[in-house]
Structure 1
Amino acid sequence: MPRLSEVIAELDALWPPERAEQWDAVGTVCGDPDAEVSRVLFAVDPVREVAAEAIALGADLVVTHHPLYLRGTTTVAASHFKGRVVHTLIKHDIALHVAHTNADTADPGVSDALAGALDLRVTGPLVPENNLGRICELDHPETLAEFAARAAKRLPATAQGIRVAGDPDMVLRRVAVSGGSGDSLFDAVRAAGVDAFLTADLRHHPVSEATQHSPLGLVDAAHWATEWPWCEQAAAQLDTISDRHGWDLRVHVSKTVTDPWSAHVGPADAFPGSAPSAPSEPTSPGAPN
């Protein structure tokens, strides 16, 4: 079995920490570099539910996309929920490693995984300077309503569901995608000349201004749902590394839904005039239930 330091070296090669934004907090949060690793769990959020899942699984390493201490801290006391996560992991000899903005700008990165989950053909980065986001082509034209339905079907289900801004009947041929919060990228999206943009955490004023500025279609999915496909991509990358080294690692992807929203109350259908539809189970392969 490899040591933690050997596994981390390979993860840092996939997502170099120096490519992270200056404000970010990536890398190893806890763990003994000399400890052996046999089982790894990938997840979006380093929360208590994921720590419990790692214990039940017998994992030696948890790799998350979101940092545990993004803004720093002066204590890891277990009286706070973040400190409790650290105590729980250390008590059970489980290491925690974070790949955040360095995974966003990797090739392949978070937006490649999102495009793959949506079965889109990537043609290039949305922001070439830092390799952020992806410009994609559809295999055949479809309406904004159909594209939103594709996202609802292929991304993990959340309480938020999928929100849409724009004419549901507009025809799309090229779209941009960006995992996580994306309303800071509207200038790049407009410059790319795409028909629609799928991302997360879209706010009222930026969306209002964007729709007034041009007939751009906007599709807003839950932050967690747009980044969860990266976990599957990252797990497959580590599997390949394990096979190359003969490590025989057992690599898992958490299906625990850690999106913080728990319920949504509103119309049964997002598009006015449509007949209400019964809720359905998520159908994307491997998606959390």
Structure 2
Amino acid sequence: MNPPPSPPIAHVHVILKPLTPPDALHTLEEALRAVGMGYDFSPQPGGVLLCLGGDGTLLGALRSGSACFGVHVGNLGFLTATNLAGVGEFLRALQAGFYRVEKHLMLEAWLDNQDSPFVCANDLVITRKDVYGILELRLFVEGVLANVYQVDGLIVATPLGSSAYNISVGGSVVHPLCQNILLTPIAPHSLTQRPLILGAHVQLSVQTQKTCLIVLDGQSHHLMRPDQELKIQQAIPQATLLQPLERNYFQVLREKFSWGGGYV
């Protein structure tokens, strides 16, 4: 028999989505006890995080830099490893070391005079503070003016986040293990504006002519003023996802987005 591809896991730290259904938590704890997996509800640095919820719960955990996997009880579950029906099987695979470790690019960004950077696993969105008006965003790549967007907003996404907000506004789907930064305008006021895919090594900066919002992974937001510059680059820590060996990204795409209609 071939040796396991990854180190066996004997203990997990459980993170719950807000208002987790009691029956879901009960089912998870039964599965953990049935396979003899140690667990607690106090995440520790360097530990493995089990995220009971949907993609939002998992994204919040990924930004911590810990290895994570998701057990799906949300609406989409695009990034999660399994659902409650299959959690026992995946826990046994973790104990035996038969799982895959995926390293995904994250982004970091900071405003002028900011002490520590923002970090996102899916996307950073620069968007209007008000429901009306147009944003004029000046994009610099490696210090050179590359584009001036007149838009409702601009998505700066990782490959992992390419299938999130990015795809809903016409951005490209990029395999999540690629090393790229995606730029997708939201409702551009010009027919010539198109999505842009860059290498992960580039350093970007954005300037705005009016106060706008920076939204990180759809979960937190910050104000950006006209006198500030937003700098963006790949983060040093990567997001670490644990996935089943048999998981196939394109099968997930087909199932979640109903690609191919009724064809198998």
Instruction: Answer whether TM exceeds 0.5 for this pair.
Output: no
TM-score scaled by length of structure 2: 0.31
Structure (1 or 2) with the greater strand fraction: 2
Structure (1 or 2) with the greater helix fraction: 1
